[in-house]
Structure 1
């Protein structure tokens, strides 16, 4: 592997994110070839020194590393299906599911290409900074062969051999994001009924979120062991506090759907005999898919 700036890079897809990716490689000194179905989107990059490939086949033959960033996996297949991308490593940063990532990996392998899947946990302006977290999964040798170039884009993390891991981490991260934000909005709505504005509540909420985040490693150990001794609090104690949250929300005229969901899951676990165990025992509730009534 050469140094970080002498590896030719091809970027397929020039939406806002694709343009940011290609522009970042150019600024770092990489020779960059671009291709997009609407060729005019490449104009700013051509002014900065990129080369526009006349065909998708030419783009894939332009170097050892091809970054793909399209609308969805269907678009990836539509663009690449007529090609033979052997000789390049495809790094697919298109958003999609883990099943789609695994299928794309099988497709690429059948065409003689190396394949890494990825997920970008950042907005386009952050690309090229440490704040841009980019997840990769797939064969480790293929990642290591291009790790230096990929680090041009931000903080790069390798997750494992399964091509679907990047997509799974992506949605798991979104679950955390929406879970925290929705819980904060619940509390903000409650306090708003007493005249407390969001800016006043936010520092307290941030403190609580940080404390809870500190519990995760210990709780993770319990989940991995499958043993949930009540070292801090028993689930039945938490359930009583959940009932209070439901009552307070209803009395304040605030939607109680979210705390009722918390309580329903706890009640099922308690009915199954887990009331004296600690909160992470609820993992079994999340492992059971339930059909909405």
Structure 2
């Protein structure tokens, strides 16, 4: 007990607003590391297990914010932040907002915090709750906004998950977060289509799964090539399979889907973009020109 008391004195104290699955995981990790923690949650019963572990439970957001300079917010959405902190004195506080939001919402929330005398850091969590506090699982959080805040509290913020500062524009963490998650959902769409194709056959999903995994891993290398082409403004650099060649092959995918009784609605929009780019005379390019079509 004496050692824990000594450790806690040297650890930054902080406040956490929001004890959903992610918030509770963050709280447990900070407490386990010896950080004095004040918590608040709209449904007070969720704070009870953390109180047993040593957290101080605040009755209101204002009480929680008043307890510490460093205030971490992990609520449902941006509207929840507005509601919880409406009228709360933020002067002199360091607000770290881990609510999933858009870049525009993050920038507006940063301005909102600055108007109230607080420093602001926005965060995009690249992890699910079971990964929090498990270094081997590779969790990390994108942070953007006040560099001074990040430099001062970086060690504390790194306790539950790794940290990656991506710029002083408060919207960048959300931008990186949504960009990565958008790519993830695109991958999920392709995987769903692949499993749907074998649904009426005797091919077991478990047999296809390792092949899908290795194939997607191999194809991930194309991301670096796409980035290089975008930065150079030359979509013919390092082309392995031209747009014209790939468009020529798309009818096979659509016919296969039809034969298997599978909707092509996950593939067809992308194929249509490929065809549009080809119609513009970009047959010798890579698929990178689709990015330009999306920007229009």
Query: Following the alignment from structure 1 to structure 2, what is the Cα–Cα distance between the partners of residues 20 and 283?
Result: 37
Q: Does 1:157 align with 2:168?
A: no
Q: CA RMSD in A?
A: 1.9
What pairs up with 1:31-180 in 2 under 5 angstroms? 31-130=36-135, 131=137, 132-180=139-187
Distance 1:259 1:13, change over 3 A: closer
Unaligned runs of 5+ in 1: 289-293
Q: Tell me, what secondary structure is at the counterpart of 1:117? A: strand
Q: Deviations over 1:15-71 (max 9, x none)?
A: 222222112111100111112233332211111111122432232122221111111
How far did residue 109 of structure 1 move? 0.2
Query: Following the alignment from structure 1 to structure 2, what is the Cα–Cα distance between the partners of residues 39 and 191?
Result: 48
Give 1:267's aligned residue.
275
Contact map agreement 1:92 1:117 (CA 8 A) in 2: yes
Query: Following the alignment from structure 1 to structure 2, what is the Cα–Cα distance between the partners of residues 224 and 264?
Result: 25
Contact map agreement 1:242 1:262 (CA 8 A) in 2: no
Q: Deviations over 1:48-102 (max 9, x none)?
A: 1111224322321222211111111111111112012112211111122221111
Query: Following the alignment from structure 2 to structure 1, what is the Cα–Cα distance between the partners of residues 192 and 76?
Result: 31
Query: Following the alignment from structure 2 to structure 1, what is the Cα–Cα distance between the partners of residues 200 and 20?
Result: 43
Contact map agreement 1:4 1:148 (CA 8 A) in 2: no
How far did residue 3 of structure 1 move? 10
Query: Following the alignment from structure 1 to structure 2, what is the Cα–Cα distance between the partners of residues 94 and 4?
Result: 29
Give 1:280's aligned residue.
288
Query: Following the alignment from structure 2 to structure 1, what is the Cα–Cα distance between the partners of residues 166 and 9?
Result: 21
Q: Tell me, what secondary structure is at the counterpart of 1:24? A: helix
How far did residue 5 of structure 1 move? 5.4
Give 1:291's aligned residue.
none
Contact map agreement 1:121 1:133 (CA 8 A) in 2: yes
Query: Following the alignment from structure 2 to structure 1, what is the Cα–Cα distance between the partners of residues 134 and 274?
Result: 42
Q: Does 1:241 align with 2:249?
A: yes
How far did residue 4 of structure 1 move? 10
How far did residue 12 of structure 1 move? 1.0
Q: Deviations over 1:192-217 (max 9, x none)?
A: 34421211111111121111111211
How far did residue 271 of structure 1 move? 1.2
Unaligned runs of 5+ in 2: 1-6
Contact map agreement 1:14 1:69 (CA 8 A) in 2: yes
Query: Following the alignment from structure 1 to structure 2, what is the Cα–Cα distance between the partners of residues 192 and 31?
Result: 53
Q: Deviations over 1:208-233 (max 9, x none)?
A: 11111112112210011111116312
Query: Following the alignment from structure 2 to structure 1, what is the Cα–Cα distance between the partners of residues 214 and 147?
Result: 38
Query: Following the alignment from structure 1 to structure 2, what is the Cα–Cα distance between the partners of residues 18 and 205?
Result: 33
Give 2:14's aligned residue.
9
